[in-house]
Amino acid sequence: MDQNEALAILKPHLKQERYDHTVRVMETAIQLAGVYGVDEKKAEIAAIFHDYAKYRPTEEMKKWITSTYLPKDLLHYHHELWHGPVGALLVEREVGITDVEVLDSIHYHTTGRTHMTPLDKVIFLADYIEPGRKFPGIDDVREAAQVSLDYGCWMATKNTIAFLMSKNQPIYPDTFYAYNALTKRKN
């Protein structure tokens, strides 16, 4: 599937601002993939579809989690975390993408996971640092992303955990697993 074809499939599923974010994630992911020796074509497709399920109704996402292989513990966490796992499922079913590495990087793009693949890291980090993002501490993460993929992802997980804790929010276990695994690798 080429880039224009993939973007045309995606477009009706998103609002304009989310579509624009996706194009920036795609450009950032292709750049990071080039720097870190990751398959640029897989990075492009995964980035294009990473937020595919972002606007599915919460009740529909809940049904997909309940009725498929998706982890049930998601239901105990904020519904904002559901669009990654549900997106991977729907991108396979509705778009026909079968590449497991691509599907996994979509699944885990919000939380990360232990033993993230290089493609997982590219999508996770591109989503965090795309030029439209304005998180506190974002410039440190952008610099870290140019030092190493592990260092950039580590800092993104660290910032996310610190941000969620400052808001007294629960943190999904995969986010901690990602942080711990990256802490050992970042140097």
Residues near ligand GDP, by CB under 6 A: 51, 54, 77-78, 80-81, 109-111, 127, 160, 164, 169-172, 175
CB of 71 to ligand GDP, least distance (A): 13
Minimum CB–partner distance for residue 4 and ligand GDP (Å): 22
What secondary structure letter does DSSP report for 93? Answer: I
With binding defined as CB under 5 A, does residue 127 bind Fe ion? yes
171 binds, among ligand GDP, Fe ion, none (CB under 5 to 8 A by kind): ligand GDP
Q: Which of 51, 104, 120, 150 binds Fe ion (CB under 5 A)?
A: 51
3 burial class (0-12, 13-18, 19+ CB within 10 angstroms)? Answer: middle
Long-range contacts of range 33-42, CB-CB < 8 Å, 24 or more positions apart?
33/119, 33/122, 35/146, 36/118, 36/121, 36/122, 36/149, 37/118, 38/118, 38/119, 38/122, 39/119, 42/99, 42/101, 42/102, 42/105, 42/119
Read off the tokens for 8.
């045309």
Query: By CB under 5 A, how many residues form the interface with Fe ion?
Result: 2
CB nearer to ligand GDP: pick between 2 and 60? 60
| Closest residue to Fe ion in the complex (CB) | 127
Q: Of how many residues is the chain composed?
A: 187
Nearest distance from C-beta of residue 159 to Fe ion, angstroms: 11
Give the range of 50-58, 88-96, 115-123, 172-180 binding Fe ion by CB under 5 A.
50-58
Per CB under 5 A, the segment of 56-64, 68-76, 127-135, 161-169 that binds Fe ion is 127-135
- Rounded Cα distance, 48 and 5, in Å: 11
81 binds, among Fe ion, ligand GDP, none (CB under 5 to 8 A by kind): ligand GDP
